[in-house]
Structures are given as C-alpha cells and as structure tokens.
A and B are shown apart, each in its own frame.
Chain A
Amino acid sequence: MTATTTPLNRLGWTLADGLTLIGRELARLRQEPGQIIAALVFPAVMVVLFGYVLGSAIQVPDGGDYREYLMPGLFAMVTFSAWLGVMTRTASDATRGVMDRFRSMPMARLAVPFGQTGADLLTGLLMLTIMVGAGLLVGWQPHRGLIPTAQAFLLMIVLRYALSWVGVYVGLAVKNDQVADAAVPLGLPFTMLSNAFVPTDGMPGWLRFLADWNPVSALTAASRELFGNPGAPSGNAAWPLAHPVTAVLLWTAALLVTFVPLSLRAYTRRGR
C-alpha cells in the first residue's frame, strides 16, 4: 500500500505517524477530564502545601520571600514528572500488546518513541503554564527581564524532553505496567532530596552530597538564578550549584546521548 523507500519519504512518515500518536495522547486527555482537573488542582495544592504550610517555618538563606524561593523548585518538580509519565504510558502499551500491534504494522519504526516524547512535551508545556499561573497568583515573579526568563523556561523544556526519553527506555525495559506504577511514588522523595524546597546547607554531609548533585537541584538553582529569585548558593557551593545552567545543559546532553539510542534499540529489537 505504501512504499516507504526513499529516506525523505521515510522521514515524512515518521513525522506523520509521530503526529498521529501525539493526537492520540490529546484524545486520551479529552476522554479523561479528571486528569485535566487533577493537572489544574495539583499546582494549587503544591503551592498551598509548600508555600504556606511548610513555608511558614522555613527561613530563606538571604532573607527573601519563601514563595519566591519555592516556585523554581515546583517548576523543577513538574519538569521531572516527565520520565514517570512517559514510563507508565510506555509500559502500559507494552503490557497490553499495543506496542506489538505498532511493531507489526507498516508504520515508521521511530514514530512511536518520537510521538510519545513529543506528546509529553505538549502536556508538559500545559502543566508548566498552569504552574506559572499559580506562582503569579501567590506573588512569584521573574525579576531579570525577558531574555533570562525565556532562558529559564527553555532549560526546563530541553531537560524535560531528555527526561522523557529516560521514561521511554525504562518503560520498554520493565515491560510491565504494574512494576512501572509501583515506581511512580519514588518520584516525590527524589524531588525532595534536593534544594527545591529547603536549602541543602543544613543536611547531613552524605545527604547534602546527594542533594547537591541531584539534577533537580541544578535545574532549581538555574531557574532561581535566571529568574532572580532568592536562594543563590553561598561561596562554598558544590560545582553543579555554582554553575547551574552549565550543569543542566550537561545533564540534558548526557541523558539524550545515553537514552535516545538505548530507547531506539529497545524499540526496534526483535527479541522475544
């Protein structure tokens, strides 16, 4: 029926099939209005919980407003939700045989991972927009002008895209949606073990080491710097916190270089 022979043709079909799969994720969202409501309520709950409940007892290092300090951490939290979401969707497709159906069809091989990561990027942008709205409502704002603000959001987006490839690979590797679902609650402690909600200075040495090198901390520190929000690291900060923008870019590159080939191989491999 279709002759996907020339490279240009193949690229065209990869894009077309990828778009179809992005459309699939959007259609799924439309079928589940509960998810959209949850996506709207989640940022509000986070801002109230951390901003007002915990924030009332937390002292920001350089005396700034805690909610100004908190929002970059929440942006990072939303960004790092990418790999868990993509992982559960990929594992669910693999478990229910949808992945096998894709593989037995004459569709572009690479469209599935690209479609899945592309769709996550769209939902991620939506979630980030809502979180920004929640932040503005409680008095957070960027202070350093348009360009650094845009740079901060761009950093979140590229890191999110890299993280979604981790999700594709892990989802294909576990091949079992129950295992994937069981891994989801690990996301919160991973995010909390960072500078997102409290400064790392007060943590015990070994824990502080983990928190300082957690990529969540690098992204949080980078956005604080670019937004001009309080919480800039003091003199003896660990390298990723002293050079947060570079650290985020390095993390992004490292994740993409590792997980894009791994995912593509896992998807096209015809083992079992």
Chain B
Amino acid sequence: MTAYNVPSKATGADPIVVANGLRKSFGTVPALRGLNLSIPRGTVCGVLGPNGAGKTTAVRILATLSDPDSGHARIAGYDVVREAGRVRERIGLAGQYAAVDEKLTGRGNLRMFGRLYHLSRREAHRRADELLDRFDLTHAADRPVAGYSGGMRRRLDLITSIILRPEVLFLDEPTTGLDPHSRVEIWDSIRELVAEGTTVLLTTQYLDEADRLADDIAVIDHGQVIATGTPDELKATIGDRLDVTVEDPAALPAAATVLTVLIGAETTTAGADQLSVALPATGLRLADIVRELDHAGVAAADVSLRRPTLDEVFLRLTDHTEPVR
C-alpha cells in the first residue's frame, strides 16, 4: 500500500506531537507497524481509522500509558518513554468511557483530580467551580456522577482532563455512543479549548466529527498512516463525484453501463434511483454525460457534480480490495 504525502496546511510551526516509526505488537498481533505522526501546535489532528486500526494503541503510547516496542515519540520535545513525568505535566486524556469516580459528585471529582494534579486546596476548589460554570454543569455539580446522563458524564470527563490547561489533549472517541445533541455540546467544548491554544489529537469513527473539528486528518489502517491532509485535500485526492438520478429505477442498469463505458470506473448504487461514480480528472463535461445518457434512452431526473464526502474518501482509502491510487 503506497502512502500519501499531502503537505499539512499549517506549515512553519513547530510540531508539538511527533511520532516516529512507532511499532507495537500484542503477542503476535501487530497493532502499530511504523506509525508516523506530526501535529503542529494549536491545531486539531483527527485520527481516523476502522476498528482495530491502532488508534487507541497510538493514543496510549503518546499518553505514556504504554511503551512502544520500537520507534519514539515526543510531546513538546519530551520523550514519552524516558521523560514520561515531563510529558504527563503537559497532557490531558479523555477516553471512550468516562474515567471519573461514579460515586463522587461532579464537584468532588474535579476537586480530587485537581489535588492529584498538585493544585493547592484553594486553587483546586476554585478551578472546579470555574470549569463547572464554564461547561454548564453547575446545576448537577453536587449530585453523584452515577446519576448523570451520558453526555454530562462525558463533559465531566473532558473538563477533568483540562484542569491543568494541558498543552496537548488526547481525545479517544470523545462522542462515541452519545446522542446528537450531546455530541454537538462536546464539539462546542472542544472548539472552545482549541481557541485557547490547546493542541488536540482526536480519534473518531465519525467522519463528520473529523470534518467539523480537524485542521488535519491522518487516516490509519493496519497500524500505519496511509494518508494525511486537510479534509479538503483528502477529498481532492479521490476526485469529484458524479451523481445521476434516473426517473425510472428500471433504467438504472442501462445508466450504469453508459457511465462505466464513458468514464471507465465502476459505479456504486446510492439509492433506488441513484448512481454515484468517481470522476477522473479528464476533460469530461457534464453536457457530454447528459447527451450519452439521452442516446441510451435513460431519462435522467438529475445529474450533478459534487465534492466527495469524507466517508467516501475513508471508504476508498481503507477498502483493502481496491488498490489506492
């Protein structure tokens, strides 16, 4: 599999997260096979990949929870293995499940973790109140977390990880399992942190999440980065899409034949009466396509040219049967 190398849009800045050739196996199963990553300060890097691609393993190594078998990584210049203590002073971690004490109240959790971050008692209390207020949890602050909704828990987990105002925040699937409303709330919180200059590494399965939040995206598969770039750059790499909607669903096969002959690429069915095909960067014009469909007796209700969605990019990149161009 060849690797893409799309230059990052935020060039010139010093990368605050650097991973070089990270390898890690569990028993005989390789989880990371030479992972490289570079995140400029103050940006959001979305790490995308199918389940089992190595996203969580990568985050655990960068967050000093796990050692790589080989390769090395630095956070703000400090080695994650040899200078783990220095790294821990600069990072925050929020996971897939809310890592807070369910028996304690929200305020109790923030105060306890504040003390464990070595804030003074007064400072830990002040910071807890401030975060609860800013992230709209004051109304539930004195209830045990066990009674919180999924979204509230996740928000508490998130703000617990920013008590020390970390330089780098690792978010491992921060909205997995949340309802749409809670997801938007978490997104707003993340945007607010980024505005303050926190660098965020975000793993996610939701491509719209990466599309909305990430400055740069790294697509991981089989423990390696197979593509990097801004969402727009990634979309450009697979070319524009042509959607054809026919008036009579029975004409779909005929339309597919016309498009395949004309464009030379396989079409995919996008609905009962819709076909989608990747358009190569040749001089094919929309008018030619409409005319050819007409010749074949296919009545097209709509023929439209659009940018691919990130989902299509992701499927193309991680589709192991189809060679990546």
Contact = CB atoms under 8 A, between A and B. Distances in A.
B171 interface: no
Interface residues of A, number: 29
A31 interface: yes
B64 interface: yes
A106 B88 contact: yes
Interface string A87-115: 00000000011101111111100010000
Interface residues of B, number: 34
Contact of A96 (B85, B91, B102, B144): B102
B264 to A, nearest CB: 47
Given A13-B118, A96-B99, A107-B116, A101 B160 contact: yes
Contacts of B116: 17, 20-21, 102, 105, 107, 111
B67 A20 contact: no
Interface string A17-36: 10011011001100110000
B85 A106 contact: yes
A4 B84 CA distance: 12
Contacts of A271: 66-67
A100 B112 contact: no
B135 interface: no
Given A105-B88, A107-B116, A270-B66, A28 B100 contact: no
Given A1-B164, A271-B66, A104 B89 contact: no
A106 B99 contact: no
A105 B85 CA distance: 8
Most buried by A among B96, B101, B160: B101
Given A97-B99, A106-B88, A27 B64 contact: no
Interface stretch (B9-17, B103-111, B248-256, B284-292): B103-111
A100 B67 CA distance: 14
A17 B118 CA distance: 8
B302 to A, nearest CB: 48
A107 B93 CA distance: 14
A2 B116 CA distance: 11
B95 to A, nearest CB: 5
B44 interface: no
Interface string A143-175: 000000000000000000000000000000000
Interface of A: 1-2, 4, 13, 16-17, 20-21, 23-24, 27-28, 31-32, 96-98, 100-107, 111, 270-272
Interface of B: 26, 60, 63-67, 85, 88-89, 91, 93, 95-105, 108, 112-113, 115-118, 144, 160-161, 164
16 contacts: A17-B115, A20-B116, A24-B104, A31-B105, A31-B108, A96-B97, A96-B102, A97-B98, A100-B93, A100-B95, A101-B93, A101-B100, A104-B65, A105-B117, A106-B117, A270-B66
In the A-B complex, the 4 residue pairs with the closest CB atoms: A97-B99, A106-B88, A28-B103, A101-B99
